[in-house]
Amino acid sequence: MFCRRTLQFRYVGDLFVAQTDSREGGIVAKTALITGVTGQDGSYLAELLLDKGYTVHGLIRRSSSFNTERIDHIYQGPEEPERSFVLHHADLTDGVALVNLLRDIQPDEVYNLGAQSHVRVSFDAPLYTGDVTGLGTIRLLEAVRASGIQTRIYQASSSEMFGASPPPQNEKTPFHPRSPYSVAKVYSYWATVNYREAYDMFAVNGILFNHESPRRGETFVTRKITRGVARIKAGLQDRLHLGNLDAVRDWGYAPEYVDAMWRMLQCDTPDDYVVATGEGVSVRQFLEFAFEHAGLDWAEHVRYDPKYERPSEVDALIGDASKAEELLGWKPEVKSRELARIMVDADIRLLSDQLTGAAVRVDR
Ligand code: NAP
Ligand code: GDD
């Protein structure tokens, strides 16, 4: 099922880059561009592609403080003679920068992971979310056209698009988005399908259900819980304030999910895939898993705060990923109880390192 590529060499900036088909046993040195490379998924995907021999270019946005914590361990400075990981300042709100970047890099694969990705925040910043998470995608697709390059595009679509449609959800389930974030993601989903149909682009949607890791942003519920567990265990806090505990999510492990993204771009034909574990767990159950693992009783520490409720909630997301299993050969190993253990252990280690002043890496 993997795609054939012919051997080519070319200059990208100061890099001499080779590409070939891995099935022919030659050098594998494809080039990829990742938007959102500083995020949870971007950092794991960059590692995966570097391991496969890719030259990886990452789009980062300018920040007044360092925003590269998740990728510092793979950073290669401009002084390194044969860099395979290169960062570029740009932004999904700046279409011209995207055209220039694509023209210079000429990537074989583009992974569009950049987004304002927080659902609750999207109610506070709906226009900004629409601009980055919605229009950002069409800017990137147009930039591919304008730069005249041949490339394969992965769009980070989301199970949030299913919203109010009851589980189990698969590729045929109708979308019923319940937030400005998911409305923007539906726009991006259809833009990707439209560019595939209209311009014959190899553009695919990965409809990923929630996936987490020790690198998950601290304000998403799983990480908020596991970080809270570590701090409660260490005596640094006593209470954890949360919103709706009844919501059900299908939580998988992020490193496994980026592998599914890559597999989608190696297929002979472009298509859209649901990626999920198939197991639904409530926020309350995840609390139990996480607190129990640290020998704590969650009911003694968790308090309700309506501030964390959403104006419209998504009650239950449970994915049916049988298409990905059948056509991509992708199957998840880590389910939510194991995930909670991995994240609690990592947060306990991270906090201990911070308290003792040891050198800290985010996923230790
Ligand atoms: P994340 O940790 O929030 O990372 C988002 C990335 O987007 C960060 O690198 C962020 O940069 C970047 N970004 C934000 N605004 C940008 C802009 N204007 N221009 C360029 N880059 C911008 O998200 P994630 O969990 O890795 O998710 C990756 C993608 O998958 C997102 O599109 C998300 O919506 C989607 N998704 C995630 C899940 C999930 O469960 N994790 C499920 C389905 C879909 P900074 O580091 O500078 O903020
Ligand atoms: N963040 C957060 N904080 N969520 C809480 C809290 C809290 O204090 N208390 C309860 N929740 C509930 C939310 O109401 C929601 O039902 C559930 O926990 C999960 O919330 P998040 O972890 O913020 O994730 P999400 O499901 O809204 O969105 C994530 O997954 C999507 C895929 O379905 C994000 O990663 C999105 O970018 C992604 O598309």
Which tens digit of pLDDT belongs to each residue from 162-212? Answer: 999 999 999 999 999 999 999 999 999 999 999 999 999 999 999 999 999
- From the CA of 112, the nearest ligand is 1
Which listed residue (54, 111, 154, 181) is catalytic? 181
Question: At a CB cut-off of 8 Å and minimum separation 6, what does 111 contact?
Answer: 32, 33, 34, 35, 36, 42, 45, 154, 156, 261, 265
H or E element at residue 325:
helix 322-328
Q: Which of 205, 242, 249 has most ligand 2 atoms within 8 Å of CB, for mutation?
A: 249
Residue 226 has pLDDT above 80, yes or no: yes
Please state, in angstroms and rounded to a whole number, the distance separating the CA atoms of residues 344 and 170.
Answer: 30
User: Measuring CA to CA, how many Å separate 127 from each of 81, 103, 115?
Assistant: 42, 29, 13
DSSP annotation of 176 reads: -
Ligand 2 atom closest to the Cα of residue 219 is 1
Instruction: Report yes or no: 160 and 115 within 8 Å, Cβ to Cβ.
Output: no
Q: What would you report as the CA-atom Rg of the chain, rounded to the nearest whole angstrom? A: 20
Active site residue 322: no
Q: How confident is the model at residue 146 (pLDDT cuts 50, 70, 90)?
A: very high
DSSP annotation of 315 reads: -
* Domains of the chain, residue spans: 10-215+252-279+312-335
Please give the CATH number for the structural domain made up of 10-215+252-279+312-335. Answer: 3.40.50.720
- What SS3 state is found at 78? coil
DSSP annotation of 130 reads: I
Tokens of 317: 């997301």
The per-residue pLDDT for range 256-311, each reduced to its tens digit, is: 999 999 999 999 999 999 999 999 999 999 999 999 999 999 999 999 999 999 99
pTM: 0.94
Which listed residue (160, 182, 213, 336) is catalytic? 160
Ligand 1 atom closest to the Cα of residue 210 is 40
Q: How many CA atoms lie within 13 A of 15 on its CB side?
A: 23
Active site residue 158: yes
State residue 357's pLDDT score. 86
Whose C-alpha lies nearest to ligand 2, atom 18? 221
H or E element at residue 32:
strand 31-35
222 Cα–ligand 2 center, Å: 8
Tokens of 273: 């895939």
Please state, in angstroms and rounded to a whole number, the distance separating the CA atoms of residues 172 and 158.
Answer: 14
Please state, in angstroms and rounded to a whole number, the distance separating the CA atoms of residues 247 and 13.
Answer: 48
Tokens of 26: 């030659």
Active site residue 304: no
Residue 5 has pLDDT above 80, yes or no: no
